[in-house]
């Protein structure tokens, strides 16, 4: 039977003795887990992932969602993820970089998604979060809002809500708030 760990250790020793130091960086449990999850991602067709700090920094990345249905059809929304060292026991910190008129995303980019708060469990992964964010764009939830004004309009007047979303995504004002173009 081949002991792969022994072979790996021998290669490290040879590399270390060749130049006086070992170049292998030890990964934390969170880094190992996130690395595994990212290689196994099954992204929806509306979502892309990028690593602004390079592929060596898997703990900080971005996803871009471009909904293909619903109120937000055609919009482009970018989210940042900061994975804590306590992952998977603590959820990643997710923020929306795109200013959006949405009942579940406030004007500072905070996201109201239950699996990022009280319903987080270590068995959940990045794929689950991405699908949850996609769901927010196809089914915004006025019952658990961060943007109470948008939630009230969605609840009381869905046609006006749709008009406000289109105006915001086109780079206009909704009330006193200006939204940059995201279409």
Q: What residue ranges do the domains of the chain occupy? A: 25-174
State the catalytic residue, choosing from 36, 96, 112, 182: 112
Query: Which contacts qualify for 175-182: CB closer than 8 Å, 24 or more apart?
Result: 175/149, 177/101, 177/107, 179/99, 179/100, 179/101, 180/98, 180/99, 182/75, 182/76, 182/77, 182/98, 182/99, 182/100
CA distance linking residue 59 with residue 62, whole number of Å: 10
Long-range contacts of 79-85 (CB under 8 A, 24+ apart): 79/111, 79/133, 81/126, 81/129, 83/30, 83/34, 83/58, 83/59, 84/30, 85/28, 85/30
Rounded CA-CA distance 125/24 in Å is 27
Catalytic residue list contains 36: no
Low-confidence ranges of the chain (pLDDT < 70): 1-25
Query: Mind listing the pLDDT tens digit for each residue in 17-70?
Result: 555 555 556 788 899 999 998 889 999 999 999 999 998 899 999 999 999 999
The domain covering 25-174 belongs, at the CATH homologous superfamily level, to: Ubiquitin Conjugating Enzyme (3.10.110.10)
**What pLDDT does 25 receive?**
62
Q: What per-residue confidence (pLDDT) applies to 128?
A: 96
pLDDT of 13:
56
Residue 132's nearest CA partner among 75, 176, 81 is: 81
pTM (2 d.p.): 0.84
DSSP 115: G
Contact 165, 101 (CB under 8 A): yes
153/123 Cα distance (integer angstroms): 35
């Amino acid at each position: 039977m081949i002991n792969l760990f022994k072979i790996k250790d021998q290669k490290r020793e040879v590399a270390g003795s060749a130049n006086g130091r070992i170049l292998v960086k030890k990964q934390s449990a969170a880094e190992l887990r996130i690395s595994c999850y990212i290689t196994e991602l099954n992204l929806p067709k509306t979502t892309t992932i990028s690593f602004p700090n390079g592929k060596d920094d898997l703990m900080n990345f971005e996803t871009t969602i471009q909904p293909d249905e619903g109120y937000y059809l055609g919009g482009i929304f970018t989210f940042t993820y900061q994975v804590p060292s306590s992952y998977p026991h603590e959820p990643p910190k997710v923020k929306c970089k795109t200013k959006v008129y949405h009942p579940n995303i406030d004007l500072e980019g905070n996201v109201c998604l239950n699996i990022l708060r009280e319903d987080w469990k270590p068995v959940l992964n990045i794929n689950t979060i991405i699908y949850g964010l996609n769901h927010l764009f196809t089914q915004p939830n006025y019952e658990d809002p961060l943007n109470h004004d948008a939630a009230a309009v969605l609840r009381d007047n869905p046609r006006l809500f749709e008009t406000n979303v289109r105006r915001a995504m086109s780079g206009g004002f909704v009330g006193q708030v200006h939204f940059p173009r995201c279409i």
